[in-house]
Structure 1
Amino acid sequence: MTDDNPSETSRPVVIEVWSDLGCPWCYVGKHRLQEAIAGRADGDRFELRLRSFELNPGAPTTPETIESAFIRSHGGDAQIVVQAERRIQALAQSEGLPFSVDRLNANTSDFHRVFQFAQDQGVGLEFFSLVQDRFFAGDLNPFTADSLSAAGAEVGLSADRVREVLAGDEYADAVREDNEEGRRLGVQGVPFTVFDRRLAASGAQSVNGYAQALAQTIASAPSEPTPPTETERP
């Protein structure tokens, strides 16, 4: 269902997605959501905002293989995570998304701090997407200052300023605030998508699932923003 009058001037409808860099379902879900938005005649009415959420804030800062991270956190047979990675790789590739199973895993706090800086500069979505997409394609190691500063420069940030952020603890409060706000809204895992602060979806939905949520959001959209009441899964 699409807006019958796409030329109508209406207030922006904000779609927020709590997400973590290394979450494969966040990667797939983001692209499905963007496809659903692009499929609407009024797609330019939607404003997509990514929000920080650290799935494992206690993860080590030294990168390790996905298998090593799984054994350290859960013990047992690493083949479980290998098989899961192969399944989502096949799914992602079937949707035209590159997906490397040889990614590294590490603490994402530094990435999120630079992302928050990028948000301040108006290029948060561009920075997050560039780094995440190349990370899953196997083309970028996001756990080095060189990689993050170079990625920042590609979206218009000062590479030197990115290095300054990484050298200290700037924007840690902003990351923490995103995490805390997400939990208040019911986030237990990611991706967690909030449509105009009136509807929420936990997990990566199908393109059709996102499309239905967008249609429902538009159909019930007030002329002015209203405070959220409670979230529900579409």
Structure 2
Amino acid sequence: MTMRLSGKTVLVTGGTDGIGAQLIRQLRGKGATVITHGRNPARVAATRAEGFEVIEADLSVPEGVEALLAALADRPIDALVNNAGAGTNYDFRSGEVDLLGAERTYYLNLHAPTQIIARLLPMLKSRGEAIVVNVTSGLALAPNAGSPVYCASKAGLRSYTMGIRAQLKGTGVKVLEALPPLVDTQMTAGRGSNKMSAAECAGQIVAGMESGKETINVGMVKFLQLVHSVSPALARAVMIRF
């Protein structure tokens, strides 16, 4: 199922920074009405100054999910993009293990998307044609050693995405997964090199939404996906070193 984005209403979580900030601009450029979300007051204000509707909420806690849903009320949504995500310090080798950060990361990256989808699904079904896009990561295919909590949360979201895709077949709600590589954002500052720009990443996700691809492998994830399809063990052996 392809989707013409012009005239559609799209909700993008985490749209005030990074990939999300580029997604909302590009979706608006396609003629979509965009509702987004952020939790940093300064970035929320800056995004509103660009003319976007922004709901301020912290999706790393249950109260934030409730605040987002309450602000949406019964607004019709044609596409939901679960983009908000974060990592946390969790490395036994350095002694930097943030247990509270891990808990909030799991909630933001995994629990919040599942809650939002479940609560918005009746409305999405009523639209006749709708899409859900869960932004996971290439690290959902094969984890690295440096960010186990982030990897686990994204792998969980990947499994959830595949499961509900099968459940919702024939309902008019298409479930897509976008798997970015290492992208140049505030979250990845000081981590690795050869990063993809957030604008290019967003462009490939938007194109995937229009084409209706079930899996949007972005940039170098196309190669990782190929390796993983041939030998999951090899993909894991390559990625775990980082």
TM-score of the two chains, using structure 2 as the length reference: 0.30
- Which structure is higher in RCO with an 8 Å CA cutoff and minimum separation 6? 1
Structure ranking higher in strand proportion: 2
